[in-house]
């Protein structure tokens, strides 16, 4: 029998390896930015076109590479970071596997320009699908410039799996944030389709957070500091009142590397227990410094997951540090049995002498005296005597007997009574037609048996069709606010809202002013409470960033779905009988009552026969 196992060609092996390292344009951005940081750059520029599908370019002013290093950097498993396997547990750099550039070059057109400071000229290398097409001497500034064009040009199937430009750009910006946040000593600049999106100067950690997420973020931050032999914690958490419905502003950095950890995230949630509204998530930006020997970074291709030696200790320290900060800055209540703060003397009255209050009394004043002199004139006061107060009731008895307008007896004109379909004594007439089960389902009787409706999904369908209709015919009804509502967002979030502004106005929103990091709303749709406006817009932004529809969906459809999801009756909300019946009637007046906007079943029916079988 012939041998069937064979070695794969290099270009095929590289493409397969690229699938692990490069899932989307954001993966390329991450790898190139980390290489620039490892090169000791002080200024890094990221240039993106068409959400990275056409061009991703990273320019740095780092130490550059020699001619030989430039060529070797595109070979698989070629790296300057490690020499032995033990070095994997002493890592202080971003990249170490030597797979990034080789994987990127296998699926894109790559052009590299690099020069070391002591050299007069640099090197340029052009690679297309792992094949070096040219290598020449070039005049270029100190540092390295890597241009990645036409990503996945030789793997059309992978390119077809990419999302829309809005989604892919969101992922690129996320990776940019993860790298730029923790490296405050580097100036980062990002350009998208020729326009400057970010320009982050060298600053401290707090200022870097504010530069990325907007000036309003500064007042939301609570500092967290803890230094132990095992773990050093520094950074900030967000105040509970500014918690968001989404998990966007949650960042863990271990030894200056962004990581994801559900276990450590639970420690933060535990520290905020009892302080957050239901369904909201706290923001945090925390740097964790640990001994490199106690962590294993090499367990995931994207290096965003880390294995810790002693997770339980880290959990306890992190939870107590955050809880301590919340108490220290009076965010969370703290018990102190030795002092009553309400009895403390204010600082400005600490050394002042007390003054005895004085009261002036007019000792000659007598309210029962007949003659009282008021502002220079003589008046006669009422003198209460027995005869006076009894005279008030003279004539009342005669009026009751003789006055024809007396209200002793009142007659009303009765309405014409009609015969009722049901006898008032018949118990069937008193039976409620709808019931609410566990504040989640509405149960109603139908001719063939029983109807069970999911109240949250049903209301989503009702609101979705209403919003879609209003946006289509552009006749959304708005209620004006007594005072304008000022909301603050990041620059990217404002850009998203600007794109959706017209559709939002058709639903009933009225925008009076839209600035770089804030907007002013003077009117909202009738069905939207003022307190829910910021939550709705945050949810909408999140949906647009993460769930942007395919080509056959429109922005109008997404907006209607997002608003319906935010405003629909929640599971656990109690409804009156009239509200239950109204919900049932409105649902079956919809064009597609069977499913919610996300294609989930809104109701089920159970016939009498099916119920009978349950009792057999």
- pLDDT number for residue 360: 78
99-103, 119-123, 284-288: lowest mean pLDDT where?
99-103
DSSP characters for 292-320? GGGEE-TTSTTS---EES-HHHHHHHHHH
Ramachandran region of residue 45, left (φ > 0), alpha (ψ -120 to 50) or beta? beta
> Which position has the higher pLDDT, 105 or 424?
105
- pLDDT number for residue 547: 58
pLDDT band at 422 (very low <50, low <70, confident <90, very high): very low
The 10s digit of each residue's pLDDT in 325-357 is 988 877 666 555 565 556 666 656 666 777 777
Q: Are 256 and 182 in contact (CB under 8 A)?
A: yes
Share of the chain above pLDDT 90, in %: 26
Q: How far apart are CA 33 and CA 56, in angstroms?
A: 11
Q: Is the pLDDT at 32 greater than 70, yes or no? A: yes
Q: What angle do CA 585, 588, 589 make, to 5 degrees?
A: 85
- pLDDT number for residue 550: 44
Q: Is the pLDDT at 313 greater than 50, yes or no? A: yes
The 10s digit of each residue's pLDDT in 164-213 is 888 888 899 999 999 999 999 999 999 999 889 899 999 999 999 999 98
Q: Is the pLDDT at 563 greater than 90, yes or no? A: no
- pLDDT number for residue 483: 87
Q: Is the pLDDT at 429 greater than 60, yes or no? A: no
Phi, psi (degrees; rounded to nearest 5) at 287? -100, 125
SS3 state of residue 422: coil
Q: Is the pLDDT at 443 greater than 80, yes or no? A: yes
Q: Is the pLDDT at 125 greater than 90, yes or no? A: yes
94-103, 106-115, 398-407, 523-532, range with greatest mean pLDDT: 106-115
Q: Is the pLDDT at 233 greater than 90, yes or no? A: yes
Q: Is the pLDDT at 157 greater than 60, yes or no? A: yes
202-216, 319-333, 410-424: lowest mean pLDDT where?
410-424
Q: Are 44 and 186 in contact (CB under 8 A)?
A: yes
137-141, 157-161, 573-577: lowest mean pLDDT where?
157-161
SS3 state of residue 231: coil
Structural domains in the chain, CATH included, are: 10-200 (3.30.565.10), 212-328 (3.30.230.10), 436-605 (3.30.1370.100)
426-440, 506-520, 536-550: lowest mean pLDDT where?
426-440
Instruction: State the pairing for strand pair 307-308/603-607.
Output: unpaired
Q: What angle do CA 101, 106, 112 make, to 5 degrees?
A: 45
Q: Are 275 and 238 in contact (CB under 8 A)?
A: no
Q: What is the chain's length?
A: 616
Torsion of CA 18, 192, 142, 38, to 10 degrees: -50
> Which position has the higher pLDDT, 508 or 283?
283
Ramachandran region of residue 98, left (φ > 0), alpha (ψ -120 to 50) or beta? left
Q: What's 562's DSSP letter? A: H
- pLDDT number for residue 504: 82
- pLDDT number for residue 149: 93
SS3 state of residue 475: coil
As to burial, measured by CB atoms within 10 angstroms (0-12 exposed, 13-18 middle, 19+ buried), residue 321 is buried
- pLDDT number for residue 116: 92
Please tell me the pTM assigned to this model.
0.68
- pLDDT number for residue 423: 42
Instruction: State the pairing for strand pair 122-128/109-115.
Output: antiparallel
| Average per-residue pLDDT for the chain | 80
Q: How far apart are CA 104 and CA 152, in angstroms?
A: 9
Q: Are 485 and 537 in contact (CB under 8 A)?
A: no
For the segment 477-506, the average pLDDT, to the nearest whole number, is: 84
- Residue 94 Cα distances to 21, 91, 119, 305, angstroms: 14, 8, 26, 13
pLDDT band at 146 (very low <50, low <70, confident <90, very high): very high
- pLDDT number for residue 138: 92
- pLDDT number for residue 252: 92
- pLDDT number for residue 192: 92
- Residue 112 Cα distances to 144, 155, 172, 381, 403, angstroms: 7, 22, 21, 104, 109
Q: Are 211 and 203 in contact (CB under 8 A)?
A: yes
- Residue 7 Cα distances to 3, 13, 53, 452, angstroms: 12, 9, 31, 60
Q: How far apart are CA 595 and CA 273, in angstroms?
A: 36
The 10s digit of each residue's pLDDT in 239-295 is 988 888 777 789 999 988 898 888 899 999 899 988 888 778 889 999 999 888 888
């Amino acid at each position: 029998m012939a041998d069937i196992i064979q070695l794969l060609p290099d270009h095929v092996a590289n493409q397969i390896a690229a699938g692990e390292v490069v899932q989307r344009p954001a993966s390329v951005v991450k790898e190139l930015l980390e290489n620039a940081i490892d090169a000791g750059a002080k200024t890094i520029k990221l240039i993106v076109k068409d959400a990275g599908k056409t061009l991703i370019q990273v320019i740095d002013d780092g130490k550059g590479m020699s001619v030989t290093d430039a060529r070797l950097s595109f070979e698989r498993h070629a790296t300057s970071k490690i020499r032995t396997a033990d070095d994997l547990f002493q890592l202080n750099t971003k990249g170490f596997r030597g797979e990034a550039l080789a994987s990127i070059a296998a699926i894109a057109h790559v052009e590299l320009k690099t020069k070391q400071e002591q050299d007069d000229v640099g090197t340029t290398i052009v690679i297309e699908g792992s094949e070096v097409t040219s290598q020449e001497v070039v005049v270029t500034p100190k540092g390295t410039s890597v241009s990645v064009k036409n990503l996945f040009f030789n793997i059309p199937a992978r390119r077809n799996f990419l999302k829309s430009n809005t989604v892919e750009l969101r992922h690129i910006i996320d990776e940019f944030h993860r790298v730029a946040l923790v490296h405050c000593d580097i100036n980062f600049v990002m350009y998208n389709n020729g326009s400057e999106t970010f320009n982050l100067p060298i600053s401290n950690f707090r200022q870097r957070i504010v530069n990325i997420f907007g000036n309003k973020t500064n007042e939301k931050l609570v500092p967290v500091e803890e230094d132990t032999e095992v773990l050093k914690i520094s950074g900030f958490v967000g105040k509970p009142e500014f918690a968001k419905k989404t998990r966007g502003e949650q960042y863990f950095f271990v030894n200056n590397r962004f990581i994801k950890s559900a276990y450590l995230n639970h420690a933060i949630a535990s520290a905020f227990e009892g302080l957050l509204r239901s369904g909201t998530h706290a923001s945090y930006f925390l740097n964790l410094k640990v001994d490199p020997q106690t962590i294993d970074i090499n367990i995931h291709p994207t290096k965003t997951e880390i294995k810790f030696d002693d997770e339980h200790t880290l959990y306890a320290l992190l939870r107590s540090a955050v809880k301590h900060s919340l108490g220290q800055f009076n965010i969370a209540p703290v018990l102190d049995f030795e002092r009553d703060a309400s009895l403390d003397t204010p600082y400005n009255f600490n050394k002042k002498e007390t003054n005895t209050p004085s009261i002036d009394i007019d000792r000659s004043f007598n309210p029962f005296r007949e003659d009282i002199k008021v502002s220079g004139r003589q008046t006669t006061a009422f003198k209460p005597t027995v005869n006076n107060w009894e005279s008030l009731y003279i004539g009342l008895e005669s009026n009751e007997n003789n006055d024809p307008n007396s209200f002793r007896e009142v007659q009303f004109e009765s309405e014409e009574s009609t015969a009722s379909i049901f006898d008032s004594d018949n118990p069937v007439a008193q039976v409620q037609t709808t019931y609410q089960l566990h504040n989640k389902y509405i149960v109603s009787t139908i001719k063939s048996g029983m109807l069970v409706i999911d109240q949250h999904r049903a209301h989503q369908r009702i609101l979705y069709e209403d919003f879609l209709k209003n946006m289509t015919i552009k006749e959304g009804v708005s209620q004006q606010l007594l005072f304008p509502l000022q909301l603050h967002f990041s620059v990217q979030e404002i850009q998203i809202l600007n794109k959706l502004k017209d559709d939002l106005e058709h639903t009933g929103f009225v925008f009076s002013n839209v600035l770089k990091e804030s907007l002013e709303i003077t009117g909202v749709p009738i069905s939207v409470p003022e307190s829910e406006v910021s939550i709705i817009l945050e949810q909408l932004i999140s949906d647009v960033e993460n769930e942007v529809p395919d080509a056959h969906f429109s922005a109008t459809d997404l907006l209607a779905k997002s608003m319906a999801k935010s405003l629909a009756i929640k599971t656990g909300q109690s409804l009156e009988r009239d509200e239950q019946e109204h919900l049932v009637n409105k649902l079956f007046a919809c064009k597609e009552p069977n499913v919610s906007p996300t294609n989930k079943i809104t109701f089920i029916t159970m016939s009498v026969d099916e119920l009978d079988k349950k009792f057999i």
